[in-house]
Amino acid sequence: MNEQKPLIELDSIGLALDGRAIIKNVSLQVFPGEVLALVGPNGAGKSSILSVMAGDVRATSGTATLGGKHVGKYRPDEAARVRSVLMQSNQVSFPFTVQEIVEMGRAPWARTPELADDDALIQDALRLADVEHLVERRFNQLSGGEKARVSLARVLAQRTPVMLLDEPTAALDLRHQESVMRAIRTFANAGCAIVVVLHDLSIAAGYADRIAMIVGGKLDAIGTPDEVIVADRVSRVYGVDVDIESVGNPKRPVILPQR
């Protein structure tokens, strides 16, 4: 049993929008040093759960805490120093440069002693997201994958103990999927609590400590990749017959649809 205090805790969370139940009685905890992957079919409620964790959406029922404090009790500037958030949309209204976008990640630390770390942390984030060569480009002139990596760099520069990431690999090629997940893993190893929404089950199994399978707004299963990513569950949830192979060192599940 994990003896650390959770940095994120959902207790019987429910969320209804326009009279429709989006999240139904979800309880889970996320601890320092852990990557928790949220997986499940489209429309399962994964992004909504992330928004409740961030405090961007107020739950209809239940309690959500961040760093031991109710998410609704934070001022916006306080919350931005506790959790960083990457949402699916990477749109920016004005033609900022990549450098300026990543610098925005340091805004919550203005007028704090951490301001002195800005330059080093911005450069580190640019390197980890592989966007150093783009710093002078305008964000609105980038490809979808480049925008996704720049947006991630902004989040990495923010350097918060909790990171909430919605599909950070969705628009990326294979090389950058792997480099982004390695960066996420590095931050978790340094003590961050990270929740990441992923559609690729093999990527989730390869990098997450635990996986939460969300189905119809409910928590269908939560546990290690070996416990959650099993053929009968994946086939039932996604409606596709699959085989599961264990590969790598240490061995992790890889999902192979039957074709």
Q: Residue with structure tokens 């429709």?
A: 20
User: Starting at the edge strand that comes first in sequence, how are the strands of the sheet with 20-30 ordered?
Assistant: 20-30, 8-17, 61-66, 69-70
User: Model's pTM, two decimal places?
Assistant: 0.94
Q: Please name the fold of domain 8-257.
A: Rossmann fold (3.40.50)
On the question of pLDDT at 95 being above 90, the answer is: no
Closest alpha carbon to 252 in 223, 222, 220, 229 = 229
Residue range 56-80, pLDDT digits in tens: 999 999 999 999 999 999 999 999 9
Arithmetic mean of pLDDT, 166-185? 94
% of the chain residues with pLDDT over 90: 90
pLDDT band at 2 (very low <50, low <70, confident <90, very high): low
d(CA 86, CA 192): 15
Would you kindly state where each structural domain of the chain is located, as residue ranges?
8-257
DSSP 5: P
